[in-house]
Amino acid sequence: MSTNKTTTTIVIALVGLIAAFCGCFFNFFGVLWVWAAFGPQEANPGGRLVQGIVMLVVGLLIWGGAAVGIYFLWRRMQPPPEQKITVEQKIDLTGEIDLEKLKCRNCGAELDKDSITVAEGAVVVSCPYCGTSYQMVEEPKW
């Protein structure tokens, strides 16, 4: 879904840029022409005033439309709150080892939970029968 989000972001940016530019263009000439129509020169009386008002309205409509469009796109981009997933991982090292099948590497005696210690992330087996102490090679599977 991240590609959708990226696409939406690009669309929002493009629409915003185009709308801002077009809106500025229309509003700039609209204000200029309306202002010129009331100016002292009156080079083109009447015609420019209507043209200027139309351009102003179009420019404002572009800005408003873009703002509404961007708002709805932005709203759609927000993930719904119920999709939040809290990942909780419990790692119980000694619990993952099958103690009943564990036997001493040296003498073959069956080892219980007390013979196994976890030190610095490594599983160390201390056999109470022969006194051997070694680190378990097998990676615990989870």
- Residue 128 interacts with Zn ion (CB under 5 A): yes or no: no
Using the minimum distance from each CB to Zn ion, give the nearer residue, 20 or 130: 130
- Residue 104 interacts with Zn ion (CB under 5 A): yes or no: yes
Using the minimum distance from each CB to Zn ion, give the nearer residue, 16 or 105: 105
Site size toward Zn ion, by CB under 5 A: 8
Min. distance of Cβ 104 from Zn ion in angstroms?
A: 3
- Residue 130 interacts with Zn ion (CB under 5 A): yes or no: yes
- Residue 134 interacts with Zn ion (CB under 5 A): yes or no: no
- Residue 103 interacts with Zn ion (CB under 5 A): yes or no: no
Query: Any residues with CB less than 8 A from the CB of 125 and at least 6 apart, and which?
Result: 102, 104, 105, 111, 115, 116, 132, 133, 134, 135, 136
Beta-bridge partner residues of 123: 118
Please give the residue ranges that form the binding site for Zn ion (CB under 5 A): 104, 106-107, 109, 127, 129-130, 132
